[in-house]
A and B are shown apart, each in its own frame.
Chain A
Amino acid sequence: MSYIAILITYIFISNFILVQFLGLCPFIGVSKSSESALGMGMAVTFVTSIASVVCWCAYQFILVPLSLTYLQTITFILVIAALVQLVEMIIRKISPPLYNALGIFLPLITTNCAVLGIAIINITEGYNLLESFFAGLAAGLGFTLAIVLMSNIRERLDMYPVRRAFKGVPIAFISAGLMALAFMAFDKSLLTNLHLV
């Protein structure tokens, strides 16, 4: 697959939140204001891109030569946890403004399904190093797109009369369902029509 095809696939066709349900917890939890949604989206994009590359290297250069591929899950979660910690420390040192923007979201990301999910998908799909990077980047961008759209919807929903039982999380899920309906318009034929496959 070309890199553009990978980007389109993970941003639109199999959007991590709306199609694959990976990373739903922050999607519902952090989408109350558009500012924090954007921060969370950027933090996730940052970590998925780096984690894809690092996990791919750990798998190909450590686990495969030692034929320990069954330790994939343990290795990936440890690599991601260490990586998130490291990224947090580096950002705090070199860029305080960026740390202020992303800092509070970074610890939450370790247990975000999206990060471990993309690391595993990269291996099962058999991507090479650069393809993994683009898949990670696209997964993060797709997450950002969905969470920013969602937060804008929820900010407006606050001004409308919603029935008490539906207030908060239920209406958020229903809005997400309607968004997922819209995202169904993107399917595999999109890649064929754009002559990318």
Chain B
Amino acid sequence: MANKHLHELTKGIFKENPTFIIMLGMCPTLGVTTQVVNALGMSAGVLFVLLCSNVMISLLKNVIPDSVRIPAYVVVIASFVTIVEMVMHAFVPSVYKALGVYLPLIVVNCIILGRAEAFANKNTVLDSALDAIGMSIGFTLALTLIALIREVFGAGTITLIPIGDWDGVVSIPGLRTWPVRIMTLAAGALLLMGYLKAFFGWYSEKKQKRG
């Protein structure tokens, strides 16, 4: 039984990775990954919304009539997104500004509605919570990977959270002076996504053949 719970947690990280394998929630993935800190902020927002909405929907699954379930889910999700918006606006205004329109757009992020529809309305509260955490970790890893590649090559920096005197920016010598500018632009994001998707497709196919 413990194994099953563990499976719910780990499946989102690689096997059903929301970004690279199921291809959900592409808009924020490409939109906010110009800096690592924005990717982390976005992931935190998604983690909170996904966890809360999955738990809430799994609790309410017997109360919500089947015919109006999608509007009901959307309202639940939108309420949590509003909470995230207000908290981020108050405590991390720089991240709030950088995420811009992509923050309210978590409402229409397919990952969240997708998990509500495909998982939370059929499973127990514990499994739904684990599923949400696993999916969020997968999402975070994917976003951080894309943001790292784009920021390191495109700007020659790694922007993290400022702590004390340290401004949170790691500079990479060489690339800082001669960055590959295209990586931070829209075109670079789409190209990188294409290559990464091809790589993960190739890798999982190879793994399947061997296993």
Contacts and interface: CB of A to CB of B under 8 A. Distances in A.
Interface of A: 18-25, 28, 70-74, 77-78, 81, 110-113, 116-117, 120-121, 124, 164-166, 169-174, 176-178, 180-181, 183-184
Contacts, number: 122
Interface in B193-207: 193-195, 197-199, 201-202, 205
Interface residues of B, number: 41
B23 interface: yes
Contacts of A181: 182, 187
B27 A21 contact: yes
Contact of A117 (B30, B101, B187): B101
Contact of A73 (B82, B185, B192): B82
Contact of B187 (A112, A166, A180): A180
Interface stretch (B2-10, B59-67, B107-115): B107-115
A169 B202 CA distance: 13
Contacts of A22: 27, 31, 101, 105
A166 B198 contact: yes
Contacts of B182: 181
16 contacts: A18-B186, A23-B27, A28-B26, A70-B86, A73-B107, A110-B108, A116-B107, A121-B101, A173-B190, A174-B191, A174-B195, A177-B188, A177-B189, A180-B185, A180-B190, A184-B185
Contact of A174 (B75, B194, B201): B194
B197 A74 contact: no
B104 interface: yes
Contacts of A171: 194, 198
A177 B27 CA distance: 14
Interface in B106-125: 107-108, 110, 113
A25 B82 contact: no
Contacts of B23: 28, 169
A116 B108 contact: yes
Nearest to A20: B31
A117 B105 CA distance: 7
A72 B105 CA distance: 12
Contacts of B201: 165, 170
B104 A172 contact: no
Most buried by A among B85, B104, B188, B205: B104
A74 B82 contact: yes
Majority SS of interface residues in chain A?
Answer: helix
Interface of B: 23-24, 26-27, 30-31, 71, 74-75, 78-79, 81-82, 85-86, 100-101, 104-105, 107-108, 110, 113, 182, 185-195, 197-199, 201-202, 205
Most buried by B among A112, A169, A170: A170
Given A78-B74, A81-B71, A165-B202, A73 B81 contact: yes
Contacts of A72: 104
A112 B205 CA distance: 31
A23 B71 CA distance: 20
A165 B197 CA distance: 9
Instruction: Please list the 3 inter-chain residue pairs (A to B) with the smallest Cβ-Cβ separation, ordered nearest first.
Output: A173-B194, A177-B190, A177-B191
Nearest to A107: B70
Contacts of B71: 78, 81
Contact of A120 (B101, B192, B197): B101
B82 A71 contact: yes
Given A170-B201, A174-B195, A112 B108 contact: yes
A28 B198 CA distance: 15
Nearest to B105: A113
A111 B108 contact: yes
Contacts of B85: 70, 73
A78 B107 CA distance: 11
